[in-house]
């Protein structure tokens, strides 16, 4: 009940879940959860049932906490999701593997330039660590700085999330330009 169940990591539990899917849905439904199974991508997770929330908030206490993400972590998630879209469009392998350097270069474009390159890379490393902790990236063992982008990112960073994030980025850019170019 904690975290994501992956077909390639938890093979026996995955097979049990598929066999007992209806029973699991009934069981977790009693406590206000629903099980999401994506057989094509090979993952499953629990989510709070949205139909149990009313306009004043959740009708029952949330068992799965919501996490507020920092701007930089949200940015990294959006960049990784877009990279996964490009990767899937090109066909080929099923696992997107990025190096630490590739991730740093993706993020560098969006961060202010400074004189301290080491500090900037350290900050990006901390953002990568948070995304690993959230389960959207996985460090590949026996490699130096290689990460697999986990497909679960598709369930959480969907088109609506990306559109909302793009809107917030545009508002942020207007706000920054407004401070620099106020001439009225």
Main-chain dihedrals φ then ψ at residue 148, nearest 5 degrees: -95, 130
- Report the pLDDT value the prediction gives residue 22, as an integer from 0 to 100: 92
As a 3-state breakdown, the chain gives helix, strand, coil percent values, each rounded to 5, of 50, 15, 35
Cβ distance 48 to 60 under 8 Å?
no
**List of domains in the chain:** 5-58 (no CATH), 71-180 (1.10.10.2260)
Task: Report residue 149's pLDDT band, with 50, 70 and 90 as the boundaries.
Answer: very high
Over the stretch 47-100, which tens digit does the pLDDT of each residue have?
Answer: 887 665 555 555 666 666 677 788 888 889 988 998 888 888 887 777 899 999
How far, in Å, CA of 169 to CA of 79, rounded? 13
Both tokens of residue 10? 């938890």
How far, in Å, CA of 119 to CA of 16, rounded? 46
Q: Give every CB contact of residue 49 below 8 A, 6+ residues apart in sequence.
A: 29, 32, 33, 34
Chain-centroid distance of CA 91 in Å reads: 21
How far, in Å, CA of 163 to CA of 160, rounded? 5
């Amino acid at each position: 009940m904690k975290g994501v169940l992956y077909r390639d990591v938890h093979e026996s539990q995955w097979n049990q879940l598929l066999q007992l899917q209806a029973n699991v849905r009934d069981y977790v439904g009693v406590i206000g959860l629903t099980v999401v199974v994506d057989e094509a991508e090979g993952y499953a997770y629990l989510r709070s049932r949205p139909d149990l929330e009313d306009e004043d908030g959740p009708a029952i206490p949330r068992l799965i906490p919501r996490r507020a993400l920092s701007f930089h972590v949200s940015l990294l998630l959006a960049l990784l999701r877009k990279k996964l879209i490009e990767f899937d469009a090109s066909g080929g392998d099923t696992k997107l593997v990025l190096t630490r350097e590739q991730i740093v270069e993706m993020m560098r474009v969006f961060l202010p330039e400074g004189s301290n390159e080491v500090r900037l890379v350290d900050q990006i490393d901390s953002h990568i660590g948070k995304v690993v902790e959230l389960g959207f990236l996985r460090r590949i063992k026996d490699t130096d700085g290689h990460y697999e982008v986990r497909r679960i990112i598709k369930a959480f960073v969907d088109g609506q999330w990306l559109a909302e994030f793009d809107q917030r980025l545009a508002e942020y850019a207007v706000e920054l330009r407004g401070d620099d170019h106020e001439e009225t």
